[in-house]
Structure 1
Amino acid sequence: MDRRIQKTRESIFSAFSSLLAYKRYSKITVQEIIDEANIGRSTFYSHFETKDDLLKALCSDIFEHIFSKDLISETTHDFSCVNNDLEAKITHVLYHLKDSKRDIKGILACESRELFLSVFKMYLEQMFIGLTSNDSLNGIPKEYVVNHMAGSFVETVKWWMENDMIQSPEQLTSYFLAVIPSTMLAK
Structure 2
Amino acid sequence: MDRRIQKTRDSIFTAFSRLLSMKKYSQITVQDIIDEANIGRSTFYAHFETKDQLLDELCRDIFDHIFAKDLSSEQHHDFSGNKDFEAKITHILYHLKESKHDMKSILTYESADIFWSYFKRYFEKLFADFIDSERYHNVPEEFLLNHMAGSFVELVKWWMKKDMKPEPEVVASYFIEVIKK
Aligned residues with identical type, % of pairs? 63
C-alpha deviation, 1:70, in angstroms: 4.2
Q: Report the count of equivalent residues.
A: 181
Q: Is this contact kept in 1: 2:20–2:111, CA < 8 A?
A: no
Aligned to 2:151: 152
C-alpha deviation, 1:134, in angstroms: 2.3
Moved over 6 A (4+): none
Gap regions ≥5 residues in structure 1: 183-187
Aligned to 1:137: 136
Query: Could you say what secondary structure the match of 1:65 adopts?
Result: helix
Deviations 1:53-92 (A, max 9, x none): 111211111110122234433222223x231221111111
Q: Is this contact kept in 1: 2:71–2:82, CA < 8 A?
A: no
CA distance, structure 2, for counterparts of residue 75 and residue 44 of structure 1: 32
CA distance, structure 2, for counterparts of residue 146 and residue 69 of structure 1: 18
CA distance, structure 2, for counterparts of residue 167 and residue 103 of structure 1: 19
Aligned to 1:18: 18
Query: Could you say what secondary structure the match of 1:21 adopts?
Result: helix
Q: Which has the higher helix share?
A: 2
Residues 1:53 and 2:53 aligned together: yes
CA distance, structure 2, for counterparts of residue 151 and residue 176 of structure 1: 12
Superposition map of 1:93-108 within 5 A: 93-108=92-107
C-alpha deviation, 1:155, in angstroms: 0.4
Q: Is this contact kept in 2: 1:62–1:100, CA < 8 A?
A: no
Q: TM-score, normalised by structure 2?
A: 0.93
Q: CA RMSD in A?
A: 1.5
Deviations 1:87-123 (A, max 9, x none): 1111111111111211211121210111111111111
CA distance, structure 2, for counterparts of residue 140 and residue 161 of structure 1: 30
Gap regions ≥5 residues in structure 2: none
- The residue type equivalent to 2:140 in the other structure is P
Query: Could you say what secondary structure the match of 1:140 adopts?
Result: coil
Aligned to 2:111: 112
CA distance, structure 2, for counterparts of residue 53 and residue 41 of structure 1: 15
